[in-house]
Amino acid sequence: MDKVYAKNLRDMVWEVRKYLGDNWPTPNTEGSLAYAVTEVGEAIDADLRSRRPDDKRNNNRNVSVEHELAQAAMMLLTALGPEWEPSRYFDEIVNYDLPDIAADVALAYRESDAAYWDWAEHAEYALSAIDIYCVGVDCYLKQVLDDAKEKWG
- The residues spanned by each domain of the chain are 3-152
Q: Which residues of 6-34 are buried (b: 16+ CB within 10 A; e: fewer)?
A: beebbebbbebbeebeeeeebeebebbbb
Q: What are the tens digits of pLDDT across the range 20-31?
A: 999 999 999 999
What pLDDT, on the 0 to 100 scale, is given for residue 62? 76
Q: Which residues of 49-80 are buried (b: 16+ CB within 10 A; e: fewer)?
A: beeeeeeeeeeeeeeebbbbbbbbbbbbbbbb
Per-residue pLDDT band for 89 (boundaries 50, 70, 90) equals low
Q: Cα–Cα distance between 15 and 86 in angstroms, integer? A: 18
Assess whether pLDDT exceeds 90 at residue 94.
no
What pLDDT, on the 0 to 100 scale, is given for residue 90? 66
What pLDDT, on the 0 to 100 scale, is given for residue 34? 97
Computed over every residue of the chain, the mean pLDDT equals 92
Three-state DSSP class for residue 89: coil
